[in-house]
Amino acid sequence: MPDNTQCEDGTTGMASARKIIIDTDPGQDDAAAIMLAFGSPDELEVLGITTVAGNVPLSLTSRNARIVCELCSRTETKVFAGADAPIARKLVTAEHVHGKTGLDGPELSEPTMALQPGHAVDFIIETLRREPEGTVTLCTLGPLTNIGLAFQKAPDIVPRIRELVMMGGGFFEGGNITPAAEFNIYVDPEAADIVFRSGVRVVMMPLDVTHQLLTRKDRVKRMAEIGTAPAKAMVEMLEFFERFDIEKYGSDGGPLHDPTVVAYLLKPELFKGRDCNVEIEVQSELTVGMTVVDWWHVTERKRNAKVMRHVDADGFFDLLIERFARI
């Protein structure tokens, strides 16, 4: 067990690892986020991975999460399948970005580890009720369907959550699936609305941050130099993933969205943002799924999220590469 001895400066020596549930729809960048968590066992204890339909349908996101666990030799990780469709809408997927499987790029074997019995939503509820209040962080990398359903089914869990750190939304950068909406929120705006109205502490990593984190050739080269099987697979995933983005954004490399969530837990000082009110548009045909961020505090609405806007990109990639080398 980690030793919580006091240092001379009054800080604790080794704090115990922070307990997290990763809710995800893998996706190459989701895989990178999971790998970052696996490379940081001293700081993060992954209680389980819950999968949701999003980038690709549920059967594939559940497959892909287990592939990443096996790739990183973390087969003891509990993986639970969750919602196969949004709360109130038809599923929209993103094979045009992630490829047919969601992890296109490397040659990957089918997973042999089993999914856990039971539904992801029940696992989330049971875990939050079992663990001490204020100790479990939810890390959401996809549409918020599982979380919205859990909050609807068991409102008592909301105050028990330490915080919910999410990749989703956009403001100054606009959207990436429609002009107004970022993909994760667009897929299930009703679920996002439940989460943002719930009172849970939200930290939001929008496109405004992730578009600053480009998988430039020099950064991918450093990852390739690690030389391990997980790093090699990640390089091949990123090379596939960025083809779409380079075409779209015309930049050297594409944005790496989801690892921002895990990086924030490891090194919050990499990010800068402010507390804002965020409302989710659920009715307008034109802007459905938009995260309406009151950045300038022009309303009296309650500030319900810490919205990040700036990131130290070099520091972020240094962290990613350092931790990938540990897997």
Task: Report the relative pairing of strands 161-167 and 278-280 from DSSP bridges.
Answer: unpaired
Average pLDDT over residues 11-18: 69
User: What is the biggest distance separating any 2 CA atoms in the chain, rounded to whole angstroms?
Assistant: 59
Neighbours of 252 (CB within 10 A): 14
Residue 201 placed within a domain: yes
Mean pLDDT of the chain: 93
**Active-site residue, 257 included:** yes
Total domains in the fold of the chain: 1
Residue 11 placed within a domain: no
Residue 179 amino acid letter = P
Residues whose CB is less than 8 angstroms from the CB of residue 253 and which lie 6 or more positions away in sequence, other chains included = 214, 215, 216, 217, 219, 220, 238, 242, 245, 246
Quick one: pLDDT at residue 144?
98
Which residue has 């115990």 as its token pair?
A: 16
Residue 6 placed within a domain: no
As to burial, measured by CB atoms within 10 angstroms (0-12 exposed, 13-18 middle, 19+ buried), residue 11 is: exposed
Q: Which of 96, 257, 297, 310 is flagged as catalytic?
A: 257
Quick one: pLDDT at residue 12?
45
User: What CATH number should be reported for the domain holding residue 165?
Assistant: 3.90.245.10
Q: pLDDT for 198-247, tens place per residue?
A: 999 999 999 999 999 999 989 999 999 999 999 999 999 888 877 666 66
Quick one: pLDDT at residue 3?
44
Quick one: pLDDT at residue 167?
98
Question: Quick one: which of 68, 74, 48 has its CA closest to 127?
Answer: 48
Angle at 121 between CA 277 and CA 48, to 5 degrees: 95
Is the pLDDT confidence value at 164 over 70? yes
Residue 5 placed within a domain: no
Backbone φ, ψ for residue 156 (5° rounding): -65, -15
Which residue has 């939503």 as its token pair?
A: 121
The confidence band for 95, taking pLDDT boundaries of 50, 70 and 90, is confident
Q: Choose the weakest-confidence range: 155-164, 175-184, 203-212, 234-243.
A: 234-243
Average pLDDT over residues 188-202: 98
- Domain of residue 200 covers 18-324
* Its pTM surpasses 0.75: yes
